[in-house]
């Protein structure tokens, strides 16, 4: 089988390799991977920014979908031929809250023609989805779902999404199914127009209005109920400006820096609820799958590339040129 491994954190850290087709041990499932999708985390891992102490070499990528081709002798939950996705946290489930092992970082990922995963790190994919669509769920979609759940968002609530990457676009689709009001930001008017076509209610070009938090506050008639915060240092002050009294901030990243100077008095006056979100549990993933099935939501894929192009796409993630998800077609 063909696979890609990360050997070091330099610009030439990835190497393509060939291995024999794996067989499962007790408690394991072997998947023929048809598609995998990229997250910004994959770039951070490649550059040593996520966890410089991870064990190398490493098969990267947490998110994949494929077909079960073999199971361990004790595995009864899955059968050969099942269409499945990976699960981001291999050990975060109803029986274990102390998650430590994530696919594609602490354990081998799915940028491989075949992947071996513990049965706890596999779930059936929504029946109506293609492998390419289902490969976008484990990290970005589950993260969006966990952010929305943390704030208990429902019909009529207002949510501010920062940018048009995978989490924001998944969140947009989920929120519109919930009949929430969605405001989304971007520096690209072309992307904002695309977001409107996907259901966004209002848009803000943050290059044209550096005080975009105040604009979001006004557009939502007194502040948004939730901001899904990805920028950190560069965006958090405006995020606070956008928030209503008693509103929620789900923090999922810090693309603009990690050190934020907070006005604690403003946070007190606004009764701000801040949630640190690290994707979600196996049960979160299962709940999301049920929701996606109910509303038959098709994830937005910006482009699909071959496995030979995967390395270049990982290193290109910081450009932010995509809207939605980038998928690697591994089956061809």
pLDDT digits 0-9 by tens, 39-68: 999 999 999 999 999 999 999 999 999 999
In three-state secondary structure terms, 249 is strand
Q: How far is CA 125 from CA 39, 131, 232, in A?
A: 19, 8, 32
Mean pLDDT confidence for 169-181: 98
What letters, b where the CB count within 10 A reaches 16 and e where it falls short, cover 250-271?
Answer: bbbbbbeeeebeeeeeeeeebe
Per-residue confidence at 232, pLDDT binned at 50, 70, 90? confident
Per-residue confidence at 332, pLDDT binned at 50, 70, 90? low
pLDDT at 6 over 80: yes
pLDDT at 168 over 80: yes
212-230 confidence digits (pLDDT tens): 999 999 999 999 999 999 9
Domain architecture of the chain: domains with CATH: 2-136+299-329 (3.90.180.10), 141-276 (3.40.50.720)
Instruction: Give the bridge partners for 185, in sequence order.
Output: 162, 204
Top-confidence residue, 125 or 232: 125
Q: Is 315 exposed, middle or buried (0-12, 13-18, 19+ CB in 10 A)?
A: middle
pLDDT at 172 over 90: yes
Which run of H or E residues covers position 314? Answer: helix 310-315
265-324 confidence digits (pLDDT tens): 889 999 999 999 999 999 999 999 999 999 999 999 999 999 999 999 999 999 989 999
pLDDT at 85 over 90: yes
Which run of H or E residues covers position 158? Answer: strand 158-162
Compute the mean pLDDT over every residue in the chain, rounded to the nearest whole number: 96
Q: Are strands 273-276 and 202-205 parallel, antiparallel or unpaired?
A: unpaired
Q: Are strands 83-86 and 114-118 parallel, antiparallel or unpaired?
A: unpaired
| pTM above threshold 0.85 | yes
């Amino acid at each position: 089988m063909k696979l890609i491994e990360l050997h070091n954190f330099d610009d030439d850290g990835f190497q393509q390799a060939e291995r024999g087709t794996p067989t499962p041990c007790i408690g394991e499932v072997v998947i023929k991977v048809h598609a995998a999708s990229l997250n910004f985390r994959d770039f951070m891992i490649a550059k040593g920014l996520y966890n410089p102490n991870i064990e190398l070499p490493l098969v990267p990528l947490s998110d994949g979908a494929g077909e079960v081709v073999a199971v361990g002798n004790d595995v009864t939950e899955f059968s050969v031929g099942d269409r499945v996705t990976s699960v981001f946290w291999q050990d975060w489930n109803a029986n274990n809250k102390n998650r430590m092992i994530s696919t594609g970082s602490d354990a081998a990922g799915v940028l491989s023609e075949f992947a071996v995963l513990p049965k706890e790190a596999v779930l059936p994919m929504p029946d109506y989805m293609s492998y390419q669509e289902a490969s976008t769920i484990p990290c970005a979609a589950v993260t969006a779902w966990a952010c929305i759940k943390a704030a208990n968002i429902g019909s009529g609530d207002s949510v501010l999404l920062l940018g048009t990457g995978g989490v924001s676009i998944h969140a947009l689709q989920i929120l519109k199914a919930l009949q929430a009001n969605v405001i989304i930001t971007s520096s690209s008017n072309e992307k904002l127009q695309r977001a409107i076509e996907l259901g966004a209610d209002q848009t803000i070009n943050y290059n044209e209005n550096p005080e975009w938090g105040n604009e979001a506050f006004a557009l939502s008639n007194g502040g948004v109920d939730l901001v899904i915060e990805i920028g950190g240092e560069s965006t958090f002050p405006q995020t606070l400006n956008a928030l209503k009294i008693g509103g929620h901030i789900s923090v999922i990243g810090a693309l603009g820096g990690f050190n934020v100077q907070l006005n604690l008095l403003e946070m007190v006056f606004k009764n701000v609820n801040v949630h640190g979100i690290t994707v979600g549990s196996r049960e979160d993933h299962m709940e999301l799958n049920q929701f996606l099935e109910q509303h038959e939501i098709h994830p937005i894929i910006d482009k699909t590339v071959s496995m030979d192009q995967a390395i270049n796409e990982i290193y290109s993630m910081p450009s932010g040129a995509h809207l939605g998800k980038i998928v690697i077609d591994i089956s061809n």
